[in-house]
């Protein structure tokens, strides 16, 4: 059973039960993207970086621009300053949707939809210009839509569409002696009852296993295609003396009340349960779902699916989540939706776990985009925490020029 309540009611209850005093949520637009010269269409989350935040913009459908990287500085001296640190060329084309990762030296890594793994190197002391290194060229038919993630071994890992089997794969990238990187396919998805076309960032779990979602696959037949309704998968490293990774579909969506077509990555709680969202479902209330997968009990092999909230389309609720969620220290989950909210232009939501005998998660719409003039519209990416009770994020549309925004929500 799900429960939708107002932000004011929820925050009052939280004040009484959780201790800290919560203020009414307050949103502000920190930056308007400016189109050709100032970037546009930010589809990626913000990544903490040396006290600032970095990310990518895509510039889709903006004439003569091909995406780029930027740095957001929020300190008192450089209030809300955004610096474009790199503009991609036509041959690089638009960056992937999942943003950037950094190494211990401050170098940034990502992928572009044109098929490149790249590195952005910060300026040397006394300099101001970042450097771009093309590390790996993907073969024709490979589409790195979801960026890369560092593994414990220092290698980069990422999901890729297409690949040698055309249904998508997981790849590992390591530097070679020639200054470039080498890419290897760890697993090729096979469609049918298998996962198909990974489109979300991966996460590492216990034992170095890789977890993620695919938009299609799993064999579900209720969706409006023959490709399946999507999956959650696990990729386990080779056992000692072996070379092959082992893939398992942890859950195959049916398109019913359990949801369909997940687009976001997964996040874990301390007990090893994983959480994410689906963009849609084909039964009422049609707005997608948030779900939990719990590891098998001792002696068992199957993970347990639990729907923790069904988003309500056409009801001023948040609807159609295109990304995963983030935890706060109290175990609450936060995310954004591309649609829904009071203006129908997307929302920021909070999911509070059950207390006492209740098994019901409580959803609160913290903010509805489009609530004021020049507000952001249609967030695509998950939010990022900037301290306690402060979320940062991007919208793919809206702002003064309708090129997208960076927003901050205090609550």
Computed over every residue of the chain, the mean pLDDT equals 89
Helix/strand/coil (H, E, C) string of 314-342? CCCCEECCCCCCEECCCCCEEEEECEECC
Q: Looking at the structure, tell me whether residues 376 and 347 fall in a common domain.
A: yes
Give the separation between CA 30 and CA 375, rounded to whole angstroms.
10
Section 239-247 average pLDDT:
94
Q: Is residue 322 part of a domain?
A: no
Q: Looking at the structure, tell me whether residues 88 and 199 fall in a common domain.
A: no
pLDDT for residue 277 is more than 70: yes
Section 314-319 average pLDDT:
93
Q: Looking at the structure, tell me whether residues 223 and 254 fall in a common domain.
A: yes
pLDDT for residue 94 is more than 70: yes
Q: Is residue 39 part of a domain?
A: no
User: pLDDT per residue over 391-410, tens digit each?
Assistant: 999 999 999 999 999 999 99
Element containing residue 12 per DSSP (H, E): helix 7-18
Q: Looking at the structure, tell me whether residues 394 and 292 fall in a common domain.
A: no
User: Which of 58, 19, 20, 22 minimizes the C-alpha distance to 42?
Assistant: 58
Q: Looking at the structure, tell me whether residues 258 and 161 fall in a common domain.
A: yes
Q: Looking at the structure, tell me whether residues 61 and 28 fall in a common domain.
A: no
Q: Is residue 127 part of a domain?
A: yes
Q: Of the candidates 137, 157, 179, which is a domain's last residue?
A: 137
Q: Is residue 320 part of a domain?
A: no
Structural domains of the chain, count: 3
Q: Looking at the structure, tell me whether residues 128 and 270 fall in a common domain.
A: no
User: pLDDT per residue over 213-241, tens digit each?
Assistant: 999 999 887 887 778 999 999 999 999 99
Q: Looking at the structure, tell me whether residues 5 and 88 fall in a common domain.
A: no
User: pLDDT per residue over 5-64, tens digit each?
Assistant: 434 333 333 333 343 445 578 999 999 998 876 788 899 999 999 989 999 988 655 455
Q: Looking at the structure, tell me whether residues 120 and 145 fall in a common domain.
A: no
Looking only at the bridges linking them, the beta strands covering 362-368 and 3-5 are: parallel
Q: Is residue 258 part of a domain?
A: yes
Q: Looking at the structure, tell me whether residues 171 and 301 fall in a common domain.
A: yes
Tell how far CA 268 is from the center of its chain.
Answer: 14
Q: Is residue 384 part of a domain?
A: yes
Q: Is residue 324 part of a domain?
A: no
Q: Which two tokens stand for residue 52?
A: 């600032």
Q: Looking at the structure, tell me whether residues 365 and 258 fall in a common domain.
A: no
Q: Of the candidates 137, 166, 194, which is a domain's last residue?
A: 137
Q: Of the candidates 104, 122, 137, which is a domain's last residue?
A: 137
Q: Looking at the structure, tell me whether residues 96 and 245 fall in a common domain.
A: no
Q: Is residue 363 part of a domain?
A: yes
Neighbours of 212 (CB within 10 A): 28
Domain with 346, as residue range(s), is 1-32+330-411
């Amino acid at each position: 059973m799900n429960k939708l309540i107002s932000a004011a009611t929820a925050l009052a209850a939280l004040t009484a039960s959780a201790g800290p005093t919560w203020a009414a949520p307050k949103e502000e637009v920190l930056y308007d993207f400016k189109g050709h010269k100032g970037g546009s269409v930010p589809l990626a989350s913000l990544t903490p970086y040396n006290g600032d935040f970095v990310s990518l913009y895509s510039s889709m459908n903006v004439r003569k621009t091909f995406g780029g990287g930027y740095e957001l500085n929020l300190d008192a001296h450089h209030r809300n300053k955004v610096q474009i640190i790199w503009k991609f060329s036509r041959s690089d084309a638009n960056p992937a949707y999942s943003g950037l990762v950094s190494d211990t030296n401050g170098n940034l890594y990502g992928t572009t939809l044109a098929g490149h793994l790249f590195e952005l190197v910060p300026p040397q002391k006394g300099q101001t210009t970042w450097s771009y290194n093309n590390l790996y060229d993907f073969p024709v038919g490979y589409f790195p839509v979801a960026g890369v993630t560092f593994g414990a071994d220092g290698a980069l890992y990422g999901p890729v569409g297409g690949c040698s089997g055309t249904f998508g794969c997981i790849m590992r990238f390591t530097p070679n002696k020639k200054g470039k990187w080498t890419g290897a396919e760890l697993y090729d998805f096979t469609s049918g009852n298998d996962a198909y076309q990974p489109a979300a960032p991966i996460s590492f779990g216990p034992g170095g296993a890789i977890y993620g979602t695919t938009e299609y696959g799993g064999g579900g037949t209720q969706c409006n295609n023959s490709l399946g309704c999507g999956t959650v998968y696990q990729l386990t490293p080779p056992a000692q003396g072996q070379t092959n990774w082992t893939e398992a579909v942890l859950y195959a969506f049916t398109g019913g009340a359990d949801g369909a077509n997940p687009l976001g990555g997964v996040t874990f709680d301390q007990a090893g349960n994983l959480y994410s969202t689906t963009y849609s479902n084909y039964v009422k209330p049609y707005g997608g779902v948030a779900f939990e997968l719990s590891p098998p009990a001792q002696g068992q092999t199957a993970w347990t699916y639990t729907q923790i909230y069904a988003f309500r389309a056409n009801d001023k609720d948040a609807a159609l989540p295109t990304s995963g969620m983030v935890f706060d220290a109290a175990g609450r989950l936060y995310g954004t939706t591309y649609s829904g909210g009071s203006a129908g232009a997307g929302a920021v939501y909070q999911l509070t776990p059950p207390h006492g005998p209740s098994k019901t998660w409580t959803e609160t719409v913290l903010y509805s985009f489009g609530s004021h003039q020049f507000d952001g519209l249609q967030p695509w990416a998950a939010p990022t925490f900037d301290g306690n009770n402060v979320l940062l994020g991007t919208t793919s549309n809206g702002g003064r020029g309708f090129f997208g925004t960076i927003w901050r929500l205090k609550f």
